[in-house]
A = this chain, B = another copy of it.
């Protein structure tokens, strides 16, 4: 990869930074000491404190490589059940410490960072990794009660013997938990319909500093504003999600996929829109621009690529893929017949561009860390926008990012775009920026790009995040996007559920 980057950006030399070991770090001494009753649930071990200092954003990786761990949690707590969690929250309340709920720590927006607004305040990070079980499976209703600290792979491992699957596969799947997905409204596997984890929730159980909130298991309801919707996206500020009844499914047995290519990006956009509005609801429907396709190793740099796929546990999906291919061709796409794959059985062989892209997608978190180690600025940001506003948003984001790169002497950086999810009324575009950083100045360079992108997105009418959450990093733009009176109601909810302001201060709302 180093030689590829050197060639791509005309660099003399790419040095690969070495990650720190824990003995290199000089963590400030913990300012809190857990009481004896909580000793078995808490640690001040330097490795755990360092490991819980950051999420997984570009800025986090850079700071970690710089050995900058200036703001670690004082204590990391690992409750083994709800009573342990309540005891930890009570202790935090009694000493005025901040409590940061922590799932897999894969936040890319500063969502689990110990920047709580007051550096004299002690911080306890509460890692839910021991709440890691599927507690109940309801085969009839296709639902499962799952603890919030369950990581993606462990969750699927426990559902598999029942022939079931949640089918929520964010890029962070391996590194993130159900509770984190729920708290951040994570985007998942499906490109259409059930795009967010929100859509798979039957009920939630949440421990707040004021007590437990548990909603009723319901397939649908019209009884007042939805209680679940208050906690979905609350990012650990209103309570700690401890478990949820989730809608699960039979494992798919039938699959079909195809790849369309376009010489012109806007033609690809129109074809994708037609598919999104067709009522076919493909499970995958990703438009990848030519540069991104090249970077991901699935294209030649000239063709824009649309991947479309269907899956079903119930029926062969040939009529679906046939109509999707017809639709793509009608809208200017080239679909090579050999790109159309059909199959049945649990282990449908997946090949070709779609599979290459899938592998690159799954590898991306590793790739990203390597890029950062090699001194590259690497940022992704994503949004959603109605179709009528997409072209203008795309152009202004690309232009703003290029201007920002120029302003920080990184004008040879590249920006690529793909759609991660599509709706009848608009796409969710995902942008990736890669540029060689200047040693020591990477964070300032990154900040300029990040700010330019956020400004362009908000000005063009998009959302500051479709599925990466708000955290601390997106606050300036989220605050402008959010209706002011809605912000006031969120603060009122916060005062009701967390009157002492224990939970994740600085995220989403200020007191």
Contacts and interface: CB of A to CB of B under 8 A. Distances in A.
A490 B314 contact: no
A486 B217 contact: no
Nearest to A274: B314
Contacts of A497: 485, 488-489
Interface of A: 138, 140-143, 184-187, 193, 195-196, 202, 208, 210-227, 229-235, 247, 249-250, 273, 277-281, 312-315, 319, 323, 327, 384-389, 421, 423-428, 461-470, 474, 478, 481-486, 488-490, 492-493, 495-497, 508
A196 B474 CA distance: 31
A210 B482 CA distance: 16
Contacts of A312: 279
A164 to B, nearest CB: 11
Given A279-B313, A425-B202, A485-B497, A222 B233 contact: yes
A428 B508 CA distance: 35
B280 A281 contact: no
B225 A230 contact: yes
B141 A387 contact: yes
Contacts of A226: 229, 232-233
A235 to B, nearest CB: 7
11 contacts: A142-B425, A212-B485, A219-B423, A219-B425, A223-B469, A223-B474, A225-B230, A225-B490, A226-B233, A488-B496, A489-B493
Given A315-B278, A482-B223, A247 B323 contact: no
Instruction: Please indicate which of the listed interface residues A211, A482, A486 has the most CB atoms of chain B within 10 Å of its own CB.
Output: A486
B227 A229 contact: no
Given A314-B280, A483-B227, A220 B195 contact: yes
B483 A247 contact: no
A490 B224 contact: yes
A426 B216 CA distance: 13
A492 B141 CA distance: 35
A223 B185 CA distance: 8
A397 B392 CA distance: 55
Given A215-B483, A224-B235, A227-B486, 15 more contacts: A140-B388, A141-B389, A195-B220, A196-B220, A202-B386, A211-B484, A219-B385, A221-B466, A222-B463, A223-B463, A249-B277, A279-B315, A281-B281, A314-B327, A492-B495
